Structure 1
């Protein structure tokens, strides 16, 4: 499966190589994610945020007292981030001359259907986590892949989020299109993701020199991994 088939995005403004709409992501604010991360790591921990986007999580982590280095392959995304060091680079080729207390790979980036790309992501995590540090990953609980159906959600601010075009092109794979509407603006993001059950995830982590050390939530969507 080629990257072109895995990611595709449309809509006004810049679209990143993985199909994300910069102008849409710049409108988003954090939910409970920063608190989950903060409560799982030491106070003031240094954090390498891989796939930081427009800084939705970066800003709250800075406010909670963490030093954050934000990495994204889109300069348009990084232009929205202030107060943190930014690095414009694909995750899989990142090579910084330092390690961090925490390496963060969230927003379900690890679920890419490109197995080689996922392996590259995890190697980068391992290369940049300090001895005694941890890697925090975010995945959809495996059961979500079995039950997900098209949906539409409307927020009080006039924002609408829809999931459409769901198909399963292969074992463990899910293809879908997200449609985001804010006022008169409309973006789409089509992707193919892989279901990462515990065994599959542990094997993938093991190949990168990491191992699961626990979960940060009851649904096992937030994964804490450590060097082997």
Structure 2
């Protein structure tokens, strides 16, 4: 595993690439509700409210203590803070400046990088672990999916690993499906086919004082397709980290 200077992991960086304008919605993605909405339909004020789940435990069990960690698509820092509190040197990357503003407010001193994931270029810097969560691997465009995975590959150290969150079996069936969010609730209301291999998913988030919705596109991947996608980016599946197969560890090849 590489050793990156910890001092390098505690600063905010300007992007090395051009980021998408916050007001430009991505085709097939939409969000409604109070506050700023990112291009993929994520509501910034909502993401501040979302509780952390098992992500920090999954990471802690999969990588060495104190590892340097590149978090791709950090959002508002829901996972960033708990990872930093556990001693990981986290670099948080997001295309939304509004999201990164929340990360910096919640995790003072954390290093952030404002950039799309696909074109992220941190030069020769490599990380002990790269995290691609939030089902980003299910990007509807296979070329974008592979660009995301290539970004993981080019920033992981020799001997390091890439941790990927993927949809579980049956994620698009048995709807509507509901989950608790503390004093709120999330509901996956529908998942409808809109193109070969692509589905449009509609979710609502309801709290006592606010309601948000998000519509986004997803390309489901079975185990064989997931393994092939990793291989196409120079990564090899090492193991599944959770019994439901929603977290996987891949190694550079």
TM-score by length of 2: 0.84
Aligned to 1:38: 60
1:29 lines up with 2:51 in the alignment: yes
Contact 1:48 1:68 in 2 (8 A): yes
1:36-87 CA distance string (max 9 Å, x none): 1111100111000000001110001111110000000011111112231000
RMSD: 1.6
- Taking the aligned partners of 2:99 and 2:174, their CA distance within structure 1 comes to 29
Greater alpha carbon shift after TM alignment, 189-198 vs 126-135 = 189-198
1:85 lines up with 2:85 in the alignment: no
1:150 lines up with 2:176 in the alignment: yes
Contact 1:45 1:66 in 2 (8 A): yes
Match of 1:107 among 134, 149, 163: 134
Cα 1:19/1:150, change in 2 over 3 Å: same
- Taking the aligned partners of 1:94 and 1:16, their CA distance within structure 2 comes to 18
1:119 lines up with 2:146 in the alignment: yes
Structure 1: runs of 5 or more not aligned: none
1:94 lines up with 2:116 in the alignment: no
Superposition deviation, residue 117 in structure 1:
1.1
Greater alpha carbon shift after TM alignment, 176-185 vs 210-219 = 176-185
Match of 1:6 among 28, 37, 54: 28
- Taking the aligned partners of 2:231 and 2:130, their CA distance within structure 1 comes to 16
1:205 lines up with 2:227 in the alignment: no
1:187 lines up with 2:212 in the alignment: yes
Q: Secondary structure at the match of 2:118?
A: helix
- Taking the aligned partners of 2:159 and 2:46, their CA distance within structure 1 comes to 37
1:111-146 CA distance string (max 9 Å, x none): 11121111110110000000000000000123333x
- Taking the aligned partners of 1:104 and 1:166, their CA distance within structure 2 comes to 26
- Taking the aligned partners of 1:134 and 1:152, their CA distance within structure 2 comes to 32
Superposition deviation, residue 155 in structure 1:
5.0
- Taking the aligned partners of 1:41 and 1:175, their CA distance within structure 2 comes to 34
- Taking the aligned partners of 2:72 and 2:121, their CA distance within structure 1 comes to 12
Q: Secondary structure at the match of 2:102?
A: coil
1:174 lines up with 2:199 in the alignment: yes
Cα 1:170/1:35, change in 2 over 3 Å: same
- Taking the aligned partners of 1:9 and 1:40, their CA distance within structure 2 comes to 33
1:61 lines up with 2:83 in the alignment: yes
Match of 2:166 among 116, 123, 139: 139
Aligned to 1:15: 37
Length, aligned pairs only:
224
